[in-house]
Structure 1
Amino acid sequence: MPIRIDNVGIAVDDIEAAISFFTDLGLTVLGRDTVSGEWADQAVGLDGNHAKIAVLQTPDGHGRLEFFEYIHPDAIETHPTMPNEIGMHRVAFAVDDIDEALAIAATHGCYPLRGVATYEDVYKLTYLRGPSGILVMFAQNLTAQTT
């Protein structure tokens, strides 16, 4: 059976902030909607499910993020995921210029958790907290040929 990942869904407390952050990094909005009704209750498993949604796509067309801002039921605040916790971990992006990506993130008040590391002269990488505490990783391949 052929299978592929379609998108990664992330509940956020401010969909506009999430859209702004990720579109500034180069993703594009494919669509926005508000969903509710019996079909949404059944699909998600929440009675009275009502949410604003937005789907964003990476420039290469292969990666998608789907954001949900719940109108009902109320969103449940949790502590941000730590890198060593079981469960949904992070969203990772390969970037051509990690300094440029970090400069964009900084305009949204998002900074590396502990700086930028270099792994065996192959990658520069870092984790940061994006909107709604989303753990984001940027990785720049230092061996990639530039054109």
Structure 2
Amino acid sequence: MTIKLENVGIAVRDLEAAISFFTDLGLTVIGRDTVSGEWTDTAVGLDGNHAHIAMLQTPDGHGRLELFEYLHPEAIESGPTSPNEIGMHRVAFSVDDIDDALAIAARHGCHPLRGVATYADVYKLSYIRGPSGIIVMLAEELEKA
């Protein structure tokens, strides 16, 4: 059997704000749609499923995010997740310049949970609270192979 990661799906409170955040970081919108009907009810497991969606892709063409803004059933707000909670944890991106990426995030009101750390002189990295409370890890490789 062959397997490959297709995308990471994230429900957001404001699709346009999330798109703006991720495109400013360098992702590209490769598709948008509004979905509903029996097929979405079956695939997602929610009766009356109706959502605006957008598919975004990283510049290298390998990573994709699918963002959902639910129209029905109504989105359920939850508290921001913590890095040590069980379940979906975060989405991570490699960036050329972490300071530039953090400046872009700050323009969207998104800031590090604590700061920027250096891991083994290999990466500078930071967890930020992105749109809709999403934890986004940004990592800048220090030692290029």
TM-score band by shorter chain is over 0.9
CA distance in structure 2 between the partners assigned to 1:122 and 1:67 by the alignment: 31
CA distance in structure 2 between the partners assigned to 1:58 and 1:103 by the alignment: 19
Could you tell me which amino acid in structure 1 is paired with residue 36 of structure 2?
Answer: S
Unaligned residue ranges in structure 2 (runs of 5+)? none
CA distance in structure 1 between the partners assigned to 2:122 and 2:39 by the alignment: 47
2:109 maps to which residue?
109
Q: Deviations over 1:59-91 (max 9, x none)?
A: 000000000000000000011110000000000
Structure 1's consecutive aligned runs of 4 or more residues displaced over 6 angstroms after TM superposition are none
Could you tell me which amino acid in structure 1 is paired with residue 117 of structure 2?
Answer: A
RMSD of aligned C-alpha atoms? 0.7
Aligned-pair identity (%):
79
> TM-score, normalization: structure 1?
0.97
2:87 maps to which residue?
87
Aligned residue pairs total: 145
1:69 maps to which residue?
69
Unaligned residue ranges in structure 1 (runs of 5+)? none
Matched, 1:16 2:3: no
CA distance in structure 1 between the partners assigned to 2:137 and 2:42 by the alignment: 33
Could you tell me which amino acid in structure 1 is paired with residue 59 of structure 2?
Answer: P
CA distance in structure 2 between the partners assigned to 1:18 and 1:56 by the alignment: 11
> TM-score, normalization: structure 2?
0.98
Could you tell me which amino acid in structure 1 is paired with residue 26 of structure 2?
Answer: G
